[in-house]
Amino acid sequence: MSQRSLKAELLEQRLSQNLYTAQCVREGEVEAAKQLSIPLYDVMQVAGETLFDWIQTHFDHQTNILIAVGTGNNGGDGYVAASLLLADGYTITLASIDPARPLSGDALLAQQSWLASGGEVADIRLVDTEHFELIVDGLLGTGLKGTVTSAYQSVIQRINQSSAHILSIDIPSGLDANTGASLGASINADTTISFVGLKTGLVTGNGKQKSGNLIFKPLNIGETFGQLMEAQGRLIEYADFAPLAPRALHSHKGNNGKLLCIGGNNGMAGAIRMTSEAALRTGVGLVKVYCHANSTSSIVQGRPEIMASSENLAQLLEWADCIVFGPGLGQTSWSQETFNQLFSYLIHHHKPLIIDADGLNLLSHQLHALQLSYLIMSPHSAEAARLLNTDVEKIENDRYGAATKLVERYGGNCILKGAGSIVHSQQGTYVCANGNPGMSTAGMGDVLSGVLGSLAAQGMTADEASLFGVCIHSAAADLVADNFGQRGMIASDLFDYLRQLVNRK
């Protein structure tokens, strides 16, 4: 590989990890092109060429292709790609949501070039979408405001119902580029090629689902854009982290952290057991559990390395370097009493605290920040909704906003779990690229709590433990899926892979 192509590859990799709002990309695109003295129409040409190259690589000339365009720049990209495909011998049907509506600016130039090459513009409302093997979605772009109109909704629904592979230009039509929420209706893309800057809404929650296989291309202005604009967040994955430092030859169990896990109410021992074992497999030296009296035997059975007790919580709190609170806690009088004891202690003794599950549900009744120097919360959407006194739909429609509000209200770091888990702290916002749908099973959050507690007890800062913990947890689940598939994955399947990943050299 030449030095120039290597530089371009490294640039693309760096830019593909930065996340930007739609407005930031729009403004930055114009300014970058201006500084480089590149007409924006040339940028559109490069976008169209990128689409052409992808289609040429993945579909042969016998493929029946529909390019669905709107009246904005996404439609312009579609016209450019259509012209290139037609010149290369592909059979192309190009259809517009409103063929009679005059275009303007660069989109008009692209349309005129298409018509000059002999292309036609059909009315997509009259096109049978079932006749195509590939549909290129260029209907709506990142400038969409408000709910998708009924005309667009109808077309989007028909495209989604087709059996074709759907390739979205820059963003699936109907998606909020910033949050990933569907604005009435949105395309279910199999592939999305996003240009210039990666939009925040494409990598988490509904947006991650809708985008399918997400590909990023900086085009011919990416380097300058990256220098001009400040990212709103960053996409991270396990591979971004350096291996953990080797342990000293003379180390002993006391050097590697002492973790106290609190939970395991009567009949709910499994959750805190998984938390404890995950912590051990992630490298903590010692684990003790404070649980309900009826749960102790279940927790230690088959795993004698875990020490469980239902007494002397104050002594256990003094012993611990870090505390995990919540898995299997329940919301009984025992749970509330344990909650009160813990937080009475933490008022005067600031120790790292990871809080999850019913610990969060009890926390939701508190009206003020915890004022802890080291706090990691790891709610899923329902727990976040209770913490913010709202509903799950509102959380999922703006996951970034929810994570920010949780940190503002309670302090510390927030890990909002889900597809594209968000890590938000005072230092910034990150989204985990690892993970798969097989993780949608009981106990995954309990395992994550153990991983986080283990890393914190071993000396990582809250930011380090949050970021590395989320990624290593999801990467372990990806290894399970790679080896055995997603369906049937259970939380304890991650243990052996966690052990492998923390020992990577």
Residue with tokens 């290139």: 84
pLDDT score of 9 more than 70: no
Residue with tokens 């989007």: 156
pLDDT digits (tens, 9 = 90+) for 342-384: 999 998 998 999 999 999 999 998 766 678 899 999 999 999 9
pLDDT digits (tens, 9 = 90+) for 121-149: 999 999 999 999 999 999 999 988 889 99
pLDDT digits (tens, 9 = 90+) for 479-489: 999 999 999 99
Arithmetic mean of pLDDT, 105-129: 95
- Collapsing DSSP to helix, strand or coil, 164 comes out as coil
Tell me the residue type at 208: K
Q: Which distant-in-sequence residues (6+ apart) come within 8 Å of 92 by Cβ? A: 65, 67, 82, 85, 86, 119
Q: Are 67 and 136 in contact (CB under 8 A)?
A: yes
What is the pLDDT, as a whole number, of residue 71? 86
Which secondary-structure segment (H or E) carries 233?
A: strand 233-236
Percent of the chain with pLDDT over 90: 88
Distances (CA, A) of 154 to 176, 184, 353, 404: 18, 11, 49, 35
Q: Are 33 and 221 in contact (CB under 8 A)?
A: yes
What is the pLDDT, as a whole number, of residue 13? 63
Mean pLDDT estimate for the chain: 94
pLDDT score of 2 more than 50: no
pLDDT digits (tens, 9 = 90+) for 385-430: 999 999 999 999 999 999 999 999 999 999 999 999 999 998 899 9
Could you tell me the two tokens for 368? 């003020």
Q: Are 465 and 491 in contact (CB under 8 A)?
A: no
Residue with tokens 């230009």: 169
pLDDT score of 6 more than 70: no
Arithmetic mean of pLDDT, 61-71: 95
Which secondary-structure segment (H or E) carries 235?
A: strand 233-236
Q: Which distant-in-sequence residues (6+ apart) come within 8 Å of 282 by Cβ? A: 450, 451, 454, 455, 472, 498, 499, 502
Instruction: Note the helical H segments in 215-312.
Output: 222-228, 269-281, 296-300
Q: Which distant-in-sequence residues (6+ apart) come within 8 Å of 159 by Cβ? A: 68, 129, 135, 137, 166, 187
Tell me the residue type at 155: V
What is the pLDDT, as a whole number, of residue 254? 75
What is the pLDDT, as a whole number, of residue 14? 63
Which secondary-structure segment (H or E) carries 11?
A: helix 3-15
Cα 143 from chain centre: 22
Residue with tokens 């003094």: 318
Distances (CA, A) of 229 to 22, 79, 150, 168, 404: 12, 28, 35, 24, 21
Q: Is the dihedral of CA 121, 123, 124, 127 positive or negative?
A: negative
For residue 314, the tally of other CB atoms under 10 A from its CB is 11
pLDDT score of 4 more than 50: no
Cα separation, 279 vs 259, in Å, equals 8
Tell me the residue type at 3: Q
Cα separation, 467 vs 432, in Å, equals 8
Arithmetic mean of pLDDT, 292-318: 95
Could you tell me the two tokens for 344? 């009475």
Q: Are 207 and 179 in contact (CB under 8 A)?
A: yes
What is the pLDDT, as a whole number, of residue 76? 95
Cα separation, 362 vs 265, in Å, equals 14
Write the DSSP symbol of residue 183.
Answer: S
Residues comprising the chain, all counted: 505
Instruction: Note the helical H segments in 326-434.
Output: 333-348, 358-363, 381-387, 392-397, 399-410
What is the pLDDT, as a whole number, of residue 12? 60
Picking from 113, 202, 229, the residue whose alpha carbon sits closest to that of residue 420 is: 202
Cα separation, 102 vs 104, in Å, equals 7
Q: Give the pairing of strands 122-123 and 134-138.
A: unpaired
Residue with tokens 């990212």: 231
Tell me the residue type at 278: A
pLDDT digits (tens, 9 = 90+) for 168-196: 999 999 999 999 999 999 999 999 999 99
pLDDT score of 337 more than 60: yes
pLDDT digits (tens, 9 = 90+) for 421-469: 999 998 899 999 999 999 999 999 999 999 999 999 999 999 999 999 9
- Collapsing DSSP to helix, strand or coil, 290 comes out as strand
Q: Are 263 and 329 in contact (CB under 8 A)?
A: yes
Q: Where are the beta strands (DSSP E) in 58-160?
A: 65-69, 92-96, 122-123, 134-138
**Left (φ > 0), alpha (ψ -120 to 50) or beta: where does 184 sit?**
left
Q: Where are the beta strands (DSSP E) in 413-485?
A: 413-416, 422-425, 428-432
What is the pLDDT, as a whole number, of residue 1? 43
Q: Which distant-in-sequence residues (6+ apart) come within 8 Å of 170 by Cβ? A: 47, 74, 77, 141, 142, 192, 193, 194, 195, 199
